[in-house]
Amino acid sequence: MQLKQIARDALLKPLQAVSGIVERRHTLPILANVLLEQREGQLYVTATDLEMQITAHSTLEGKDGQATTVGARKLQDLLRALPDDATLNVDVTSSKMTVRAGRSRFNLQTLPAADYPRISLGTEQLQTLSLPQRDLRKLFSDRPEHAGNMKAARFIARVRREVRRVVASWTGEYQYTIDQVLENMVQRSRELNLRLAAAEDRAKLDFTIMLTVQTMNYLHSGRHRVAL
Q: Quote the pLDDT of residue 59.
A: 84
Average pLDDT taken over every residue of the chain: 81
2-115 has which fold? Answer: DNA Polymerase III; Chain A, domain 2 (3.10.150)
Q: Quote the pLDDT of residue 17.
A: 81
* 224 has a pLDDT exceeding 50: no
* 134 has a pLDDT exceeding 60: yes
Orientation angle between helical segments 72-81 and 8-18, nearest 10 degrees: 140
* Gap between the Cα atoms of 20 and 169, Å rounded: 20
Between 39-43, 58-62, 79-83, the lowest mean confidence (pLDDT) is in 58-62
For range 70-92, the mean pLDDT:
91
Please give the helix or strand (H or E) that residue 63 lies within, else none.
none
**What are the pLDDT digits (tens) for 1-33?**
888 888 888 888 888 888 877 876 767 888 899
**What are the pLDDT digits (tens) for 100-132?**
998 889 999 999 998 888 776 554 444 544 555
125-139 exposure pattern, b = at least 16 Cβ within 10 A, e = fewer: eeeebbbeeeebeeb
Domain ranges of the chain: 2-115, 123-221
Q: Quote the pLDDT of residue 123.
A: 45
Q: Quote the pLDDT of residue 122.
A: 52
* Gap between the Cα atoms of 145 and 100, Å rounded: 44
For range 126-142, the mean pLDDT:
67
> Which class for 123: exposed (0-12), middle (13-18), buried (19 or more C-beta within 10 A)?
exposed
